[in-house]
Structure 1
């Protein structure tokens, strides 16, 4: 009894001194401060009474508990300026009810047994979370439960997640026909490059508009004019409410360089989208110098004439290439020249014309580099043929006779197997008698030297010749090198 009086005395002292009461604590921090894990209110003083309410304060979280609550727990709120604990005419409104079977009601004291949550009101609505499309999509997909619902503030529709995608409830309502007040093709943002003869890839035009009404449009497919072969496609969708952009994807192969025009007609407004089509930079996938077709022959010391090499390639893109000149190595003195042009679309060939005078015999090499590919073109340079020895009938295959009748005119023949024409002039020469020359051929008239101290015979060929000799027709006559 003494111990009880001491505790009561201490308790009363705390209450009078500080207007605070502590239970199981000598230092209360509130008007009533109870230290413990369980405390409650019970209807009756019977040990078997089950109509009670208690609070558990565990280390992992508190709980509010009730037993004998056949009608559940009600949360009542009133805006009363009088009364205490519900007396003196206080008016309380039940804002929420929790039933023993787990049903929750807001605005009702008797939520439907088949509803986990019932909202009841005659002058208020249900306001779900309002998210933009971007905010909705930012919800991690891995943790989106099927049935998650939001109000989409971008589309003004209710959306729910069906475990695979967001589904808009607006799909059941026919949206308004889309309209805009202006569209500006001249301000389009163009992406990608259009090249003549090349299939368009990754090419789009983003066209701005204003005054969208949020309605739908059926998209558009527009073929190009000016430069043909292209199509601009807009997929079906909806206009924004206000300003926005439309993205047209351009496909196809432009037939020429120039300007491709697209007549845009959408949402009640029109404009013309123009895209430049350029000549592509030439490119090929392979170049085969080893398969070249060679025309003409090259002889050391002789100027090249009518000599060319046609080199095949594959994978041409139809683009252009610049003129090119490649000097020879191995045997110097030659140049392979390619005039500017365009590759075919696919397979084709380019022709190099070879000019110059090879310094020697051997192999002349040309390092070809064009259209992103390289190879080495080789041409054989033959040694110049030596004049035949005199006399001998065999020399007639590589030489010819010049009669006096050709004086002041021309004579045709063969030098080292090459047909040539010689223009003949002379000084102090006269016509001589015919004779049989050292080649075994009969010559009707001959050149006869005059009495002047200078007898000059000029022979001018229409082609470059080298390593040639001129012989007189007297038996045993001496040869004169030219």
Structure 2
């Protein structure tokens, strides 16, 4: 009887000390292993209106290492045992931003006249990620047709910079020639105003 009792206690101690929990798996590979066989589901963290309002359901202080999604700050935060962290992840933004609204045309473009050589459009960018190489890319005008903007092959370097497009062709009408860009997965539109010859 004592032998059976000791065997049972040893087994219970072993399970308690070395137990792992698995959700969606029978073979957890960590203290807690959350898996889904089809790899289509994500983990949703507890949402709180503000991290500082988080409560321990057992009473007492919030446990060190607690992680929550703070709805007020719109980000993930954790508790270090003394205070809450700032935002770990705040929104998701593209590392590269194109500022098409600040496009600068180097020379006037006139209706029914071929665009003069060396006519360019400069578009500022900012890159928070790594350098990005691209090949030569042409873009045709819309609304006012007959123009092409060509971005010669190059790199978008980390930090601020400028992309310079060569403009060519003969505009079909006066008005706004629109160019829709898609570079490094980022889209924007710049406009060239086609004028009449005075």
Give the structure-1-normalised TM-score.
0.22
Cα pair distance change 1:141/1:348, threshold 3 Å: same
Could you tell me how far 1:314 is from its partner in structure 2? Answer: 1.1
Aligned position for 1:301? 112
CA deviation profile, 1:424-456 (whole Å, cap 9, x unmatched): xxxxxxxxxxxxxxxxxxxxxxxxxxxxxxxxx
* Mapping for residues 274-289 of structure 1, pairs under 5 Å: 284-289=95-100
Aligned position for 1:139? 15
Higher strand share: 1
Aligned position for 2:193? 380
Cα pair distance change 1:141/1:350, threshold 3 Å: same
CA deviation profile, 1:67-121 (whole Å, cap 9, x unmatched): xxxxxxxxxxxxxxxxxxxxxxxxxxxxxxxxxxxxxxxxxxxxxxxxxxxxxxx
Please state whether the residue corresponding to 1:311 is helix, strand or coil: strand
Structure 1 segments of 4+ aligned residues over 4 angstroms from their partners: none
Which ranges of structure 2 fall in alignment gaps of 5 or more residues? 2-10, 20-93
Could you tell me how far 1:293 is from its partner in structure 2? Answer: 2.0
Q: Check conservation: 1:284, 1:313, Cα contact below 8 A.
A: no
Q: Check conservation: 1:368, 1:376, Cα contact below 8 A.
A: yes
Could you tell me how far 1:360 is from its partner in structure 2? Answer: 1.2
Measure the CA separation in 1 of the matches of 2:134 and 2:98.
Answer: 14
Which ranges of structure 1 fall in alignment gaps of 5 or more residues? 1-61, 63-134, 144-282, 386-482
Could you tell me how far 1:141 is from its partner in structure 2? Answer: 3.6
* Mapping for residues 388-407 of structure 1, pairs under 5 Å: none
Q: Check conservation: 1:366, 1:378, Cα contact below 8 A.
A: yes
Please state whether the residue corresponding to 1:139 is helix, strand or coil: helix
Aligned position for 2:143? 330
Matched, 1:312 2:124: yes
Aligned position for 2:38? none
Give the structure-2-normalised TM-score.
0.52
* Higher alpha-carbon Rg: 1
Cα pair distance change 1:284/1:326, threshold 3 Å: farther
Measure the CA separation in 2 of the matches of 1:142 and 1:370.
Answer: 52
Aligned position for 1:361? 174
Q: Check conservation: 1:284, 1:372, Cα contact below 8 A.
A: no
Q: Check conservation: 1:301, 1:384, Cα contact below 8 A.
A: no
Q: Check conservation: 1:337, 1:354, Cα contact below 8 A.
A: yes
Measure the CA separation in 2 of the matches of 1:284 and 1:301.
Answer: 40
CA deviation profile, 1:196-224 (whole Å, cap 9, x unmatched): xxxxxxxxxxxxxxxxxxxxxxxxxxxxx
Measure the CA separation in 2 of the matches of 1:381 and 1:300.
Answer: 6
